[in-house]
A = this chain, B = another copy of it.
Amino acid sequence: MEFKRPPTIRDVASAAGVSIATVSKFINGQQRFSPEVEQRLRDAIATLGYRLNQQARSMVTGQTRTFGLAILDVRNPHFANIVKGANRIALENDYNLLVVDLEERPSHERHLLEALSGRVDGLIVSSRIPDDSIEWLGELGKPVVFFGQHKRPGVRCVRTDGYRAGYLMGLHLVEAGRKRIAYLGFPKARWNSERLTGVRVALAESNQTVQEYAVEWPTLDGGQQAAAALLRSSQRPDAIVAYNDLVAIGLLHEAASMGIKVPDELAIAGFDDIPVSRFMQPPLTTVNMRSEEQGEAAMQLLLESVRNKSNMGRDILLEPQLVPRASTAPAGSQG
């Protein structure tokens, strides 16, 4: 089956015996015509199987009614939630959302983003590239909303307070009576140091310090791999805060394999509150970073930018929320 050239308004026009302008106005519903003409138009469109070429339209209108969202990894439920939130708001406002997965590959990032920006009215970007390397974001010529902080004018930002998230977690563990608290981070991530600082400050208030470790990747496997070294050390922590829930789940699994009792011998916690965390055994303590709301907020900002034809205005900072569960219950409080 070959793909023949699709019919254009010109084909419709000659089939219906009218001009192309008439066809254009008709399909845009911005004007009524005599009943007979409208009927001929409908017939012609139906028999030819005509469909509007969106590209051609946006060529002249300069609008696509589509937004783009670039995320680091669809496989991470945190990002999947962001997609959900952004998509919902977009659809409600009669915009489509196109998602691209950056695959955690900084080298491709710019290329993919430039390609995306050409097809949309604005974009939302999650990036791992350092601020000073993405100056070009503002030069895409389109409204951009960025996850994180970015001083560049013309780029608005959405984020959840990572410092506060870390602080809440640190406090929680101290209150649960933990004495040797470790942070298993992912240094390449933008939010890693905020979270770590939060934890550290909370511990400092009780004169505790935090041991630092790092994963290669912020994933289930990354957590599992890091676990071995961490859990076998002679001075094993009695609590581990992981960079995110995925890493925490990897840890949890490895701890179970090694016969370490969670939370009695070891407390484990993460960040993000991804859906599956509640279903773990034991359920995982975490901080809700409002992933879905981040997506929603970013999309709202984008809609504003497009409507005002400007990119001024406030950034958005969301408040994280501690979600205490069994994985950090005070030692001895449960079996």
Residues of B within 8 A of A87 (CB): 101, 103
Q: How far is the CB of A252 from chain B (nearest CB, A)?
A: 7
Assess the B99–A99 pair: CB atoms within 8 A: yes
Assess the B74–A276 pair: CB atoms within 8 A: no
Pick from A1-9, A126-134, A172-180, A194-202 the stretch touching chain B: A1-9
- Mask: chain A, 141-159; 1 = CB below 8 Å from B; 0 = not: 1110000000001100000
Residues of B within 8 A of A101 (CB): 83-84, 87, 97, 99
Residues of B within 8 A of A81 (CB): 75
- Mask: chain A, 108-127; 1 = CB below 8 Å from B; 0 = not: 10001011101100000000
User: Closest B-chain residue to A112, C-beta based?
Assistant: B96
The CA-CA distance from A51 to B114 in the complex, in Å, is 9
Is A312 part of the binding interface, using a Cβ–Cβ cutoff of 8 Å? yes
Pick from A54-62, A208-216, A263-271 the stretch touching chain B: A54-62
Number of interface residues of A (CB under 8 A): 62
The CA-CA distance from A253 to B98 in the complex, in Å, is 34
Q: How far is the CB of A57 from chain B (nearest CB, A)?
A: 9
The CA-CA distance from A279 to B77 in the complex, in Å, is 15
- From B3, B58, B253, contact of A143 by CB (8 A): B3
Assess the B99–A311 pair: CB atoms within 8 A: no
Assess the B98–A99 pair: CB atoms within 8 A: yes
Assess the A253–B279 pair: CB atoms within 8 A: yes
Residues of B within 8 A of A14 (CB): none
The CA-CA distance from A91 to B143 in the complex, in Å, is 26
Residues of B within 8 A of A249 (CB): 276, 279
Assess the B75–A141 pair: CB atoms within 8 A: no
Q: How far is the CB of A290 from chain B (nearest CB, A)?
A: 16
Residues of B within 8 A of A59 (CB): 55-56, 59
- What would 10 A/B residue contacts be, using CB atoms closer than 8 Å? A1-B154, A2-B310, A3-B143, A66-B119, A74-B80, A97-B101, A98-B116, A98-B119, A220-B276, A252-B279
Point out residues on A near B: beta carbons under 8 Å: 1-3, 6, 49, 51-56, 58-59, 66, 74-75, 77, 80-81, 83-84, 87-88, 91, 96-101, 103, 108, 112, 114-116, 118-119, 138-139, 141-143, 153-154, 220, 224, 249-250, 252-253, 256, 275-276, 278-281, 309-312
